[in-house]
Amino acid sequence: MHNKTLAELAAGLKAKTFSSEELTRHFLGRIERFDPKLNSFVTTTAEGALAQARAADASIAGGEVGPLLGIPYAHKDIFCTDGVRTSCGSKMLDNFIAPYNATVTSKLLAAGAVMLGKTNMDEFAMGSSNETSFYGPVKNPWNLDVVPGGSSGGSAAAVAARLAPAATGTDTGGSIRQPAALCNLTGIKPTYGRVSRYGMIAFASSLDQAGPMTRTAEDAAIMLGAMAGFDARDSTSIDRPVDDYRAALGNSLKGLKVGLPKEYFGEGLDPAVGAVVQTAIDELKKLGAEPVEITLPNTGLAVPTYYVVAPAECSSNLSRFDGVRFGYRCENPKDLEDLYKRSRGEGFGPEVKRRIMIGTYALSAGYYDAYYLKAQQVRHLIADDFKQAFEKVDVILGPTSPTVAFKIGEKFNDPVTMYLSDIYTIAVNLAGLPGMSIPAGFAHDLPVGLQLIGNYFDEARLLNVAHQYQQVSDWHQRSPAGFE
Amino acid sequence: MALDSSTVEKIAHLARLGIDAKDVPEYARNLSDIFAFVEQLNAVDCSGVVPMAHPMEASQRLREDVVTEQNLRDKFQAHAPKVEVGLYLVPKVIE
């Protein structure tokens, strides 16, 4: 059952080949058996899952149908889930039982999806390797010595090891696409404003977006269809109807103009990863796509721009964790300042503290213009690069990550090197565009992801390209050994 | 740009972030590396470039000024570190 796609599982439920309760028990059993090796879940919610599954079975028996009705999924522990601990990978929220549901949580609940548990992640989504979690690093099912990527590393490892058929993720600088690439999954970060951020614990509010992590593009289309939509509770949500993502999957790629930014194939890219991406481009050509060389001249500025904008917003967002209203509080504070300082000092890990300090400095008196304002200007230049490119091409294609998954501990003590592993994904968040990663092959025995970038609200086209590629390739069907 | 230990302590204070004295030199090193990396933005000519506020130039939506949320004080305070008769407790501020 665990090798079936969401579409196949929905068909099995409808035909009553198996019940949602059986399906849920099957995945819960796999989590119990395999997760000690991976550490991909922070919390499992077996009891709640079985109750949701039984409710779904009753609905199915009553003739109700739905693409996610009775389908289990794993939920990144950044989404508030009423009555369930929502830790965001931090000691600060280790004791936090969310008192309400994020909009994404409510939408999946309303669709009848069954939540198996909450997945591990980098602390407050700040990381590219899942090593900054308070709950310890997540292992990559393809090789237990390497990272699964981050920050949605628990979601990626869980789906890759078939502990869940699909998972949610969030992406501020690549946190859906990079772990999807490193674990051989399909993941999509939608246009900024497409999925509600309400109840999704904020890291950098102008960059954060939620999206699905699945095995196939069709499954991503199903999940995104359920997650997306206008929400009055998110002030940056865009009021625009959600496309029928599944309906566009079958479109032909004949004549599709695919932009290849020369900056994404230069220095820093592992040649073995580059070769895999080139083979995928050749495959797309056979489907009728037409590659066009393009330039995104400000690509090199994306990571430094991000490391001003994201920490600035993080320092502001994370000021809410004060040890007073919820979350961790230090023992025996001697006065109010001591309460704030020790609660935050003890509750946050080193990477979160680094980013709060970068942001605090960049926003402090006398430095605002030199850092934050400057970065927001450069951000405009980066967005303009894409705007010009999309006058000539339909989608942009390149590697998701410059290398395959690296060893646990390898980059942990060198923040700048770690930050550069997101070089191809970060510009997409700065511009607010949709981006996707799909399995494209292997290098050094580890998965390689192909990144597709679309124009604003062009998710349907990205999913269509990914689906067509998956009709002529089988990389996405490969599963790691040891989790049969 | 190199940040010295006293600057790191000052930033930590501004952020109300308790940092162990023994960790200050390492933070100074890491933060200096990050700011040195970010410094390449200085070389970019941005004259006349408008700072980007929103990718689609959208502005904040306004809503009717009416109460839409229910009062869930008890539920929200249930997980607060310290409360008494509906109030959050902190160490004494005024002598």
- CB contact under 8 Å between B15 and A373, yes or no, is no
CA nearest neighbour of A149 among A187, A117, A118:
A187
Q: Give the list of residues 6+ apart from residue A333 with CB closer than 8 angstroms, or none.
A: A323, A339, A342, A343, B90, B91
pLDDT per residue over A243-272, tens digit each?
999 999 999 999 999 999 999 999 899 999
pLDDT value of residue A88: 98
CA distances from A13 to A66, A178, A226, A483, B62 (A): 10, 32, 18, 24, 43
- pLDDT single digits (tens) B42-93: 999 999 999 998 888 888 888 889 998 889 999 999 989 999 999 999 998 8
Contact A213, A225 (CB under 8 A): no
Helix spans in A121-210 (H):
153-160, 177-182
User: Do A456 and B56 count as a contact with CB atoms less than 8 A apart?
Assistant: yes
Q: Chain B residues with CB inside 8 Å of A101's CB?
A: none
pLDDT higher than threshold 80 for residue B95: no
Look at residues A199, A226, A184, A192 and name the one whose alpha carbon lies nearest to residue A77.
A199
**Cβ distance of A341 and B18 shorter than 8 Å:** yes
Q: What percent of chain A is predicted at pLDDT more than 70?
A: 100
- Check A308 against B38: CB less than 8 A apart: yes
Residue A2 distance to chain B (closest CA, Å)? 37
Please provide the size of chain A in residues. 484
DSSP strands (E only) in A295-445: 395-399, 435-443
Closest-CA distance, A373 to chain B, in angstroms, reads 6
Mean pLDDT of A67-94: 98
pLDDT for residue A418 is more than 90: no
Strand A72-76 to A114-119 pairing:
parallel
Neighboring chain A residues of B13 at a CB cutoff of 8 Å: 341
Query: Are B34 and A379 in contact (CB < 8 Å)?
Result: no
pLDDT one-digit tens code per residue, A426-471: 999 999 999 999 999 999 999 999 999 999 999 999 999 999 999 9
Residue A4 per-residue DSSP state:
S
Between chains, do B35 and A364 touch, taking CB under 8 Å as contact?
no
Query: For residue A247, what are its two tokens?
Result: 């309906």
Which residue in B1, B30, B63, B92 has the most chain A C-beta atoms within 10 A of its own C-beta, making it the best mutation to test that interface? B30
- Ramachandran region, residue A255 (left: φ > 0; alpha: ψ -120 to 50; beta: rest): left
- The DSSP letter of residue A330 is -
Nearest-Cα distance to chain B for A322, in Å, is 9
Tokens matching residue B51: 């700072």
Which residues of A fall within a CB distance of 8 Å from B70? none
Give CA–CA dist B28/B34, Å, rounded.
Answer: 10
Q: Which residues of B touch A232 (CB under 8 A)?
A: 61, 63
The C-alpha atoms of residue B29 and residue B3 are separated, in whole angstroms, by 8
Select from A353, A412, A422 the residue whose CB has the most chain B CBs within 10 Å, as the one to mutate to test that interface.
A353
Query: Distance between alpha carbon A314 and the CA centroid of its chain, in Å?
Result: 18
Q: Do A235 and B60 touch (CB under 8 A)?
A: yes
Confidence of residue A183 (pLDDT cuts 50, 70, 90): very high
Q: Which of B27, B42, B49 is facing A357, going by the closest CB pair?
A: B27
CA nearest A200: which of A124, A93, A276, A278? A124
Where does the pLDDT of residue B2 fall: very low under 50, low under 70, confident under 90, or very high at 90 and above?
confident
The verdict on a CB contact (< 8 Å) between B58 and A236 is yes
pLDDT at A412 over 90: no
Indicate which of B8, B13, B17, B92 best probes the interface with A, i.e. most A CBs within 10 Å of its own CB. Answer: B17
What DSSP letter does each residue of A351-364 carry, written as one string? HHHHHHHHHHHHHS
Check: CB of residue A126 under 8 Å from CB of residue A151: yes
Strand, coil or helix: what is A317?
helix
Q: Which residues contact A335 (CB under 8 A, 6 or more apart)?
A: B91, B92, B93
Q: What is each CA distance from A406 to A132, A139, A417, A447, B28, in whole angstroms?
A: 15, 11, 12, 11, 26
Q: Where are the beta strands (DSSP E) in A67-148?
A: 72-76, 114-119
Chain B positions touching A346 (Cβ under 8 A) are: 18
Which residues of chain B does A339 touch, with a Cβ-Cβ cutoff of 8 Å?
Answer: 90-91
Q: DSSP of B55-84, one letter per residue?
A: TT--------SS--S---HHHHHTTSSSEE
Residue type (1 letter), A293: E
Q: Is B51 on the interface with A (CB under 8 A)?
A: yes
Please provide the size of chain B in residues. Answer: 95
The token pair at A317 is 């967002």
Please return the burial class of A449, using the count of CB atoms within 10 Å of its CB with bins 0-12, 13-18 and 19+.
buried
Closest CB to A340: pick one of B7, B16, B44: B16
CB contact under 8 A, B16 and A383: no
Closest approach of B76 to chain A, Cα-based (Å): 6
Q: Which residues contact B67 (CB under 8 A, 6 or more apart)?
A: none
Taking the Cβ of residue B83 and every Cβ of chain A, the question of whether any pair is shorter than 8 Å is answered with no
Q: Which of A125, A213, A122 lies closest to A161, judged by CA? A: A213
**Contact residues on chain B for A377, CB-CB shorter than 8 A:** 44, 46, 49-52
pTM metric for this prediction: 0.97
* DSSP for A21-33, written as a single string: HHHHHHHHHHHHH
Stretch 16-35 of chain B: residues touching chain A, C-beta under 8 Å: 16-20, 23, 27, 30-31, 33-35
Contact, A135 vs A109, CB < 8 A?
A: no
Look-up of token digits 């499992």: A44
Task: Report pLDDT digits (tens) over A99-148.
Answer: 999 999 999 999 999 999 999 999 999 999 999 999 999 999 999 999 99
CA nearest neighbour of A170 among A385, A422, A429, A373: A429
Handedness of CA A166, A169, A171, A174 (dihedral sign): negative
Distance (Å, whole) CA A244 – CA A192: 18
- For the complex shown, is ipTM > 0.90? yes
**Does residue B48 belong to the interface with chain A, where contact is any CB pair within 8 Å?**
no
In contact, A228 and A188? CB cutoff 8 Å: no
